[in-house]
Chains A and B, each alone.
Chain A
């Protein structure tokens, strides 16, 4: 004790040695409060809050991860096992706890704060470790499974195969097969000239067995089919159940040659035959099917739908902007401070308008759309209402700021010529606010068209409705068409609006 006092020459003859023992003890019981005891109030409280919040987060995550376990100790063991990061955080907490005790001791002895950059860094790291765990960040999955996106991405990136449609006809050539062979095969049908015809050689055979030994091999020869077209092989068994021929796990496909003919060897598949049907033999039918395109290529239904909805979207944005402009101009005058300082009443109106605008503006158009749908039902009108409400608030604020920033000089000059109020507005105020009004309006139109593409996600009309529908149907090609239209429209609009803005401003 004496030695400490002598060594600490700068310290006044205070009971520093007593505190040097007391501070760490208090900190051990209540982390950080030992520091508060020796005067470092803010530091102590901050450390306590940090440690307590990290510990709280850790308890929450352990309960969540180990929720299947009953005993507390099992919960902890299980969660550390599943999420080693939680163990690391726990170790970090212990370190921080010990460090705070040490810090309390040092601070009490030296009577001044000890630099603890590393301590704060440790606390920060603990927070980020918790964030990593809470965010369920999983880079391994990201890296290994990224290929899964390829199919979807490629369809969205180039969806135009779905944009074209040809009228199609199903061409079928069929022949009977006897299973198993019993006095040869069934009688073959006569080939009619010009009609699709299927010849199977032999036209009887044994099924593959469940144990895996292959059945008979049949040679299938098709003629008079559509040339250079993919052809599928289908079976129809004795119960008239149809199924597709599979070989080595793949559906069998064959392409016809220039003359519309093909030849392929197939193995008779395995099929569980119900005992009731077990006779001497059964007669199955083998079919070669192909989709034969007729007539010229024409736009697909999806393409036409996307175009219709895109037009709807653009007009949705336009109408919302128009309503927004008309309604926000009067509002903007009420929200312009320089026009509303006349009396106590007008100042109140000013504050009320401003507050309302801020509240309305802070609610997203998607939420307004949900509310509008309740009122007017699904469809573009709901979207128009939602965007209008949001536009009034956004434009009202921008317009009012434009009015607030006009130069009072020209107004004074116009007044000095003996002009009346209306003339002063027309010649002094309007020319000054037109450029910012035009600029803000175009900007808003831009936003509204962009927003109208997503407002459909909640049913507010426009192309977003189609988009979300196609995504839910996993029709990524059609969704890709919608994405392309949205992208093109937004890009064109961007270009047009910047051009117009340059002209006016």
Chain B
């Protein structure tokens, strides 16, 4: 159970990115965060694994306040939280397998990363992760030789290598076309359902939200403006929609007009 309480983030330049944000995420949930660009989605996700320091508030995860962790303890928690990025954030000039293995760094002693690299067990684990995500063929290629969809799969494999209890996905499909978007989200969904990994994912398209989310929160200017389940999304009213996306926003064709997702069907 992730319990975020009164989370506030003010950047040094005075920008208030998150304002007194509170919500709960049960274990095994697929929580989707929606909101405009700049509404605080990325800041929220990065506060949870402390890539960004929260200004105020608590982030309780199984009773531990992540906001107060330091040094070694923080790194131990971080390795249980995988992260997937919009721009994939792979080391482009390194091989795919090296990028995937980087997910084990939190478990690798420093002397080993300097001298020999990774243990045979880790290498075996990497093979399994790549097989599961379907990138075994690409293992020896350089990361920047891969297409966007393949790169994001490498990103997921890297997160999977951590053996995570939670995955934070920051707009993981915003740089991909709709078909690839479904493919990537299906991988996340499978990890969520088969491995019981809690997923926190920010998304832009409501049809995707509808299809994959088990629950949804909406942010606007750093504040929580919407909270609901998958069913609630289908019945979202115009006023709720405008709460999230602003007065000028228009719902083109309604939210049920989604794109058919490849093999699985809507």
Judged by a CB distance under 8 angstroms, whether A169 is at the interface is: no
**Interface residues as binary, A405-441 with B (CB distance below 8 Å gives 1, 0 otherwise):** 0010110111111111011001110011011000000
Residues of B105-129 contacting chain A, CB below 8 A: 105-108, 110, 113-114
A423-B113, A427-B113 known; A410+B90 contact, CB < 8 A: yes
**Interface residues as binary, B70-114 with A (CB distance below 8 Å gives 1, 0 otherwise):** 000001111111110101111111100010001111111010011
How many angstroms between the C-alpha atoms of A416 and B81 in the bound complex? 8
Most A CB atoms within 10 A — which of B83, B105, B108? Answer: B105
Separation in Å of the A341 CB from the closest CB of chain B? 11
- Chain B positions within 8 Å of A, measured between CB atoms, are 49, 51, 75-83, 85, 87-94, 98, 102-108, 110, 113-114, 155, 158, 161-162, 168
Instruction: Judge whether B90 and A413 touch: CB under 8 Å.
Output: yes
Instruction: Judge whether B102 and A409 touch: CB under 8 Å.
Output: no
Of chain B, the residue at the smallest CB distance from A505 is: B93
How many angstroms between the C-alpha atoms of A416 and B46 in the bound complex? 9
Separation in Å of the B140 CB from the closest CB of chain A? 16
Most B CB atoms within 10 A — which of A415, A418, A432? Answer: A418
**Interface residues as binary, A389-408 with B (CB distance below 8 Å gives 1, 0 otherwise):** 00000000000000000010
Given contact pairs A414-B105, A415-B78, a sample of 12 additional A-B residue pairs in the complex whose CB atoms are under 8 Å apart: A407-B92, A412-B89, A413-B85, A414-B91, A415-B51, A419-B75, A419-B102, A419-B105, A422-B110, A426-B114, A427-B102, A431-B91
Instruction: Judge whether B93 and A418 touch: CB under 8 Å.
Output: no
How many angstroms between the C-alpha atoms of A417 and B75 in the bound complex? 8
How many angstroms between the C-alpha atoms of A413 and B94 in the bound complex? 14
Separation in Å of the A309 CB from the closest CB of chain B? 40
B114 to chain A: which residues have CB within 8 Å? Answer: 422, 426
Instruction: Judge whether B106 and A418 touch: CB under 8 Å.
Output: yes
Instruction: Judge whether B89 and A410 touch: CB under 8 Å.
Output: yes
B105 to chain A: which residues have CB within 8 Å? Answer: 414, 417-419, 423, 427
Instruction: Judge whether B94 and A431 touch: CB under 8 Å.
Output: yes
Instruction: Judge whether A409 and B83 touch: CB under 8 Å.
Output: no
A409 to chain B: which residues have CB within 8 Å? Answer: 85, 87-89
Of A417, A422, A434, A435, the residue contacting B106 (CB under 8 A) is: A417
Of A410, A418, A420, the residue contacting B110 (CB under 8 A) is: A420
The A interface, classified by DSSP as helix, strand, loop or mixed, is helix
How many angstroms between the C-alpha atoms of A414 and B103 in the bound complex? 7
A413-B158, A423-B105 known; A418+B90 contact, CB < 8 A: no
A415 to chain B: which residues have CB within 8 Å? Answer: 51, 78
A416 to chain B: which residues have CB within 8 Å? Answer: 49, 51, 78, 81-83, 168
How many angstroms between the C-alpha atoms of A418 and B103 in the bound complex? 8
Most B CB atoms within 10 A — which of A428, A431, A432? Answer: A431
Of B77, B85, B93, B161, the residue contacting A431 (CB under 8 A) is: B93
A419 to chain B: which residues have CB within 8 Å? Answer: 75, 102, 105-106
B80 to chain A: which residues have CB within 8 Å? Answer: 418
How many angstroms between the C-alpha atoms of A283 and B125 in the bound complex? 108
Instruction: Judge whether B78 and A432 touch: CB under 8 Å.
Output: no
How many angstroms between the C-alpha atoms of A420 and B103 in the bound complex? 12
A427-B113, A435-B93 known; A417+B85 contact, CB < 8 A: no
Instruction: Judge whether B158 and A417 touch: CB under 8 Å.
Output: yes
A422-B114, A427-B113 known; A417+B79 contact, CB < 8 A: yes
4 residue pairs, one from A and one from B, having the closest CB atoms: A418-B106, A418-B79, A409-B89, A419-B105
| 21 chain-A/chain-B pairs, Cβ below 8 angstroms | A409-B88, A412-B85, A413-B85, A414-B91, A414-B102, A416-B49, A416-B81, A417-B82, A417-B102, A417-B104, A417-B106, A417-B158, A418-B76, A418-B77, A418-B162, A419-B75, A423-B105, A423-B113, A427-B113, A428-B91, A432-B92
How many angstroms between the C-alpha atoms of A118 and B146 in the bound complex? 63
A432 to chain B: which residues have CB within 8 Å? Answer: 91-93
A435 to chain B: which residues have CB within 8 Å? Answer: 93
A415-B51, A419-B106 known; A426+B78 contact, CB < 8 A: no
Separation in Å of the B199 CB from the closest CB of chain A? 15
B110 to chain A: which residues have CB within 8 Å? Answer: 420, 422-423
B92 to chain A: which residues have CB within 8 Å? Answer: 407, 410, 432
How many angstroms between the C-alpha atoms of A410 and B91 in the bound complex? 6
Of chain B, the residue at the smallest CB distance from A415 is: B51
Most A CB atoms within 10 A — which of B80, B90, B102, B168? Answer: B102
Most A CB atoms within 10 A — which of B75, B88, B114? Answer: B75
Instruction: Judge whether B89 and A418 touch: CB under 8 Å.
Output: no
